[in-house]
């Protein structure tokens, strides 16, 4: 890139963010805090926009928001591809759970069935997320 030496601008999510919680747990560990000098943003989209326009910045976002303007970083030489995420080779993965008190017949069940269907999985993948199927 040919950039001259310059301080790195750290971009982080706000306290209480699920993305930040996952980053702190998986990357920072129990005894290391994100620098107080970090620029705090209230959305993954804001983090992406800052990193996309500032070549001296680094941040973290959900995989579904990565686009050609930012580059996802390989961990231990493993790039964050959908295949590596599905095969659990890429280590920085936060899985989501669908939860309900009871999955009775009706809209909630229909929604879950749709999400897990081939059509629903295709839609998730088209949005940049990683589905649960092969």
64 vs 44: CA distance, rounded Å: 10
* pLDDT of res. 102: 87
Q: Is the pLDDT of residue 133 over 70?
A: no
What average pLDDT does the chain have? 91
Nearest in space to 60 (alpha carbons), one of 19, 14, 90, 26: 19
pLDDT tens digits along 72-111: 999 999 999 989 998 889 999 888 888 888 888 999 999 9
Q: Is the pLDDT of residue 126 over 80?
A: yes
* pLDDT of res. 15: 93
Local confidence band at 1 (pLDDT 50, 70, 90 cut-offs)? low
**pTM, to two decimals:** 0.82
10 vs 27: CA distance, rounded Å: 14
Say which residues have a Cβ less than 8 Å from residue 26's Cβ, sequence separation at least 6: 91, 92, 94
Percent above pLDDT 90 for the chain = 68
* pLDDT of res. 9: 97
pLDDT tens digits along 9-68: 999 999 999 999 999 999 998 889 999 999 999 999 999 999 999 999 999 999 889 999
50 vs 59: CA distance, rounded Å: 9
* pLDDT of res. 49: 98
128 vs 57: CA distance, rounded Å: 23
15 vs 105: CA distance, rounded Å: 37
Domains and CATH numbers, the chain: 9-77 (3.40.190.10)
Helix axes 107-116, 118-126, angle to 10 degrees: 70
């Amino acid at each position: 890139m040919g950039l001259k030496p310059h301080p790195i601008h750290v971009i982080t999510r706000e306290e209480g963010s699920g993305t930040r919680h996952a980053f702190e747990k998986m990357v920072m560990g129990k005894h290391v805090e994100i620098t107080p000098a970090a620029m705090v943003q209230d959305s993954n989209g804001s983090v992406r926009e800052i990193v996309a326009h500032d070549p001296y910045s680094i941040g973290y976002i959900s995989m579904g928001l990565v686009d050609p303007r930012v580059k996802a970083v390989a961990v231990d030489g493993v790039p964050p591809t959908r295949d590596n995420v599905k095969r659990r080779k890429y280590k920085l993965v936060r899985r989501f759970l669908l939860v309900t008190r009871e999955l009775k017949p009706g809209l909630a069940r229909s929604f879950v069935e749709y999400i897990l269907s081939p059509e629903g999985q295709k839609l998730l993948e088209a949005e940049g997320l990683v589905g649960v199927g092969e």
